[in-house]
Each structure stands twice: as C-alpha cells, then as structure tokens.
Structure 1
Amino acid sequence: MKRVITVVATAATLASLPAPAFAGAPELRTVSLPFLWSRSELFEVTPDGAGGVWAGGMQGKYCVRWGDLCPVYSDGNPVVRRRVGSSWQEYPINGWTGQGEIARIASSGGETWIAGGPSASTSSSRYVARFDGSAFQNVTVPTSSINMLATGPAGTFISYWDMDARVLKRTGDAWTAVEVPGFGNINDLQGLTATDVWAVGDREQPQVGSVPAAAHFDGVAWKSVPLPAASGNDRFLKVVPVAANNVWAITEKYLMHWNGSAWSPIAPPAGYADFADLTVDSSDIPWVAPEESASPLKAPYRYSGGKWEAVTVPTGIEVHDLATVSGVIWGVGRQGDGAAAVNGS
C-alpha cells in the first residue's frame, strides 16, 4: 500500500526546534594549508572516513583586464588534498585535461570520488574520477556534464539534466539509470543505509518557477515526499539524514527539518544571504554556510536551542562549505586571493 505522508507545515510557518545548547560561542580557527598558487580557493570539504578530510578547489586562476573585458585569463588548475593527521597529501588526477577546478568530492565506505571542470563550482562538472588508493582514475560517464555526485551505503550516484532530471547509479563498471520521480534537478542524494536514502532538488511549478522537491528510497522504490507550500522560487541544495525521523536539509532560503511525517521550515538569521551548505554535528545541531554575497561577509551559523548563533571565524575568511569530521566542524573557502580552511567544535 502506498504510504501517505501528511504535511502539517507551510512555508509561512517558521519552526523553533529544540536542540542542546553549547557552552560558549562557537568558533572556527585557521588550519594551515600547503602552498597554493594565487588566486586559489577551496569549494568542497568532506570526511575521508578514517578521521581525516578531503578538500578540493583550484589554484592559479587569473584575469588580465582591459577595461571591462578579460582578454587574458586562466581558469586555474584543479586542487585535491587529503588531510591525514597534521599533514596534507596530494595525489595524481589522471585523465584530467585543460584548466578548471575540483568542486565535488564524495567519500564513504572506502569509496572516494571527485568531479570538476572549468568553473565547475558554479556550473556542471565534466570530469569524474574514483580514488584507487594512490591516484584518481578518470571514469567515463554517459553525459557531457553532471550536477550531482554522491556516494554512500546505497552506492555511488551522479545526476544530470536532459529535459528532466536523470540519475545514474554505478553498477560494477557501468552506470545504470535510476527512476526518481518528481524532479527537474537533483542537487543532493544521501542515505543512512541502503534502504533509507533521500534525494533533494527542485522542480518547475507553473506561475511560480522552481520549487523544492524531495524523494525517499525505502530499498524497493523511490517515492516523492510532499513539501510545505512554496511561496516563491526556491530549491533544495543539501540533505543530511540523521535518523529515519530526523533529517536536516537546506533550501536556498530555509533550514528544513523532517520529523518522520512532515517538513518544518526555519527562517534564516536576519539579513542572511542564501544558504550554500549544511552539516550536522555529533550533538544533532545543524550548521549552515552562506552563499557568496557582497560585503560585509556573512559568517556561518548554527541552529542551537531554537535560535541562530553566529560562528566566529578569523577576519576576512569566507566559508562556503562545511563538514563534520570525528566531532569537529571543518569549513573551507577563501581569504582574499588565497584558499582558506578552518576547524573547531
């Protein structure tokens, strides 16, 4: 029998969800990085599954301006580094050609994948590779570009757009199509187990535009999950399942919580830019990072005890991607013309 989920919240209903309070103000401190050619930036940070982290981005990007034009420029070169203990390690990125950046890293259960290409942090990636323990090996995908890369208990997935959302799962040495209903784009796919998986993104709604979309996989089939009524253009960006009745996610405009039967939207901090990333710490407290915006810079926030708390970061550092690694929060971004990394708890 088809499961029916009743939605009890609307986008106008802002939830205040209780969460354990932390003692003292949250603070992230600078982590030293290996030398990177300016201009450099990190776009992605994720746990490596062994207590360390992977970070990806670019270095050596430049533009020689002539008025409003940029006749001489470089998209830079891809950067992938792994932090093990207190040192960073670099591995070959085999099969890469040309310039560009690594903007997507997915790592879980001994599998690590990367994706990138020219300006991939703001568009689709065309290069996909799997880590074999000593180097990244290029993996052919049956599309010219992808917009989502994920790996976890349910397997490794990519998504791309071809008049509608298309999802492919890695099966042996091939990619197999997966039917996920109700999407125009899938932006993230994460699972607790092979039978408890979430996909989030957006779909087009007449006279409204893009609205959030979500689906759940129970080990047998994907089923669309109803959402609060949308009040305008918005889309899901990230999802972090903690338990079957405890799932956090972000749209561009809201922090969202799933309690097992309904989504509750939580308004962002006052004056906050659109969200860019989400992680949930070991105390079930969500942390969010802002989308890049004009000055003044916006700090990451966490939602603790039913209220937003600004996270202190070193002056001038922009943090746009977050991860929880062995109870420690990591963030990456840039400081001026150089890449930046921070961590703390």
Structure 2
Amino acid sequence: MVHWDGTTWTEIPSPAEIGAFDDVVVDARGTVWVTGWARIGSAEPAVVYQYADGAWTEHADGLEGAINGNSLTVLAPDDAWLALNPGLAHFDGTSWTVMEEFPADGSQILTGLAAVDATDVWAAGIEIAGPGPARPVAWHYDGSAWSRVPTPKVSAQVYDVTIVDGRPVVVGEGFDGDWASTPLVLTTEAGTGRPGLVQVAGPTTQAVVLTSVDADAGRLWVGGGDIDVFTGFAAYAELP
C-alpha cells in the first residue's frame, strides 16, 4: 500500500508477504482499512486489515474459508460490510458474520459496496445462472434486512457503485451479441418511487470498461479504460 501526502507517495509495508488488496477505505476517524486476499500458512483466504498509529491489525474472525474480499465499506468501528467472492459479511467490531440472504454457491459475486448511512447500504455485482451470460445484480439494506433490487436483463460485468444524492450509481461494462464491450451505467429512476435500477447513458469515449466510480465536489467521476489496447481513462460529469 502507498500513501499520498499531497506531494509524494510513501510505501507502507504490507501486513502480508504474499497477496493482493482489492479495496481501501478511510473511515470517519481517519483509520485506513484494506481488503483482498493473503497467503496465510498454506491457505489464501479473504483478509481485512486496519492501519492506525503505524501498525496493522488483522480482522479475520469469521472469514475462515472465504476466498477474496472484493469491496469494503466502514460505517463505524463496529459496523462494516464486506463483499466476498462469493457472499456478504458484516463486522460487529469483533468478528465477521456471513449473511444468509446471499448465495454461497458462487452464482452471485458482489464487487461494489456503498453506503449513505447504517440504514441505507447498496451492494452490486453479477449473477451467473447456468450457461448464459453474467447479468447485473443489486441489493439494498434498510438497516434491518437486505432486499434484492430489480436490474436490467442485460449481459454485463459490474465493477463498482457509489451514492449520489441518495441514489446508487453502478458502473461496469455491457456486452453486445458479439461480446464487444461498451460502458455500463445503472441508477435508480429519479422521482418515480420505483426501486429498480435502469441503464442510462455513459460517457462518450473510446473506453469500453468503467471499473470505478465516485462523487465529490459536485462531480461524478468514472475511471476505466480500453482493455484491448491497455489505455486508461477518467471522466467526470457535473452534478445538478
């Protein structure tokens, strides 16, 4: 992991000799959390580490057998959500509990998490059902239970989700009949009261994959690239 102080990057020694991190978040206290996988003995489980005061703390209880940590959102030291490969887990400050609502057979892989607060959390990813193409999947947490949210029946890969004015924005790549990729953007319909996600226009660009999304200072940012020629891409749209 590396840290930017506004001028230079500084490498922070990793808590694991072998592994990879897929997500990093900073909580309200300024504490850094990372997730991904690591080699621990002869196993390579999902891991979550917390970095504070120059030291790493591992939070592994309950993740035994989990394959990979894809995305993490931290609401409080005792309230965090982790998208696994597959499944979803909740952290209570001591240990992780895998949620029973989510399939454990690999048919759903969640790749993005975002939260407004403890009563408004979104998860997005893909569903793989049989020999057909992967399709977007989304879930919403209202503070007491997770509910599946309708998504367009399109062939797609989803990578990330953020919240803009209380509405989720999901990004990824869509596939046409010839498996050519196009940027994918999904969100809820404003003012309709319907909870489902709909597809909306993405950035006009040669980039075909949107791998990340975030909103700040009145702008919605997306990042990605063209995987065929290995070029990176970033763009923003002014928010109303």
TM-score band, normalised by shorter chain: 0.7 to 0.9
Report the alpha carbon displacement of residue 130 of structure 1 after superposing the two structures with TM.
Answer: 1.1
TM-score normalised over the length of structure 1? 0.54
Aligned counterpart in structure 1 of residue 224 of structure 2, from 285, 290, 293: 290
User: Comparing both chains, which one has the higher relative contact order based on Cα–Cα distances under 8 Å and sequence gaps of 6 or more?
Assistant: 1
Q: Which runs of 5+ in 2 are unaligned?
A: 39-43, 175-183
Report the alpha carbon displacement of residue 218 of structure 1 after superposing the two structures with TM.
Answer: 0.6
Whether 2:185 is the aligned partner of 1:255: answer yes
Match of 1:152 in 2: 74
- Matched residue SS, 2:233: coil
Inter-partner Cα distance in structure 2 for 1:147 and 1:248: 21
Amino acid at match of 2:58: N
Inter-partner Cα distance in structure 1 for 2:115 and 2:216: 16
Inter-partner Cα distance in structure 2 for 1:225 and 1:113: 28
Whether 2:213 is the aligned partner of 1:281: answer no
- CA offsets 1:247-291 (integer angstroms, 9 cap, x no match): 2111323112223524231344254322111122321x3222124
C-alpha change, 1:298 and 1:130, in structure 2 (3 Å) is: closer
C-alpha change, 1:295 and 1:202, in structure 2 (3 Å) is: closer
Report the alpha carbon displacement of residue 217 of structure 1 after superposing the two structures with TM.
Answer: 0.6
Amino acid at match of 1:203: E
C-alpha change, 1:100 and 1:223, in structure 2 (3 Å) is: closer
Contact 2:121 2:142 survives alignment (8 Å): yes
Between structure 1 and structure 2, the one with the greater Rg is 1
Report the alpha carbon displacement of residue 172 of structure 1 after superposing the two structures with TM.
Answer: 2.6
Aligned counterpart in structure 2 of residue 184 of structure 1, from 89, 108, 124: 108
Inter-partner Cα distance in structure 2 for 1:176 and 1:147: 14
- Matches of residues 296-315 of structure 1 in structure 2 within 5 Å? 297-304=231-238
Match of 2:93 in 1: 172
Match of 1:12 in 2: none
- Matched residue SS, 1:212: strand
Aligned counterpart in structure 2 of residue 241 of structure 1, from 150, 163, 185: 163
- Matches of residues 16-165 of structure 1 in structure 2 within 5 Å? 80-94=1-15, 96-97=16-17, 99-110=18-29, 111-117=31-37, 126-140=46-60, 141-143=63-65, 145-153=67-75, 155-161=79-85, 165=86
Inter-partner Cα distance in structure 2 for 1:91 and 1:305: 35
Inter-partner Cα distance in structure 2 for 1:146 and 1:296: 25
Aligned length: 214
CA RMSD of aligned residues (A): 3.0
- CA offsets 1:151-172 (integer angstroms, 9 cap, x no match): 23272222333xxx32221123
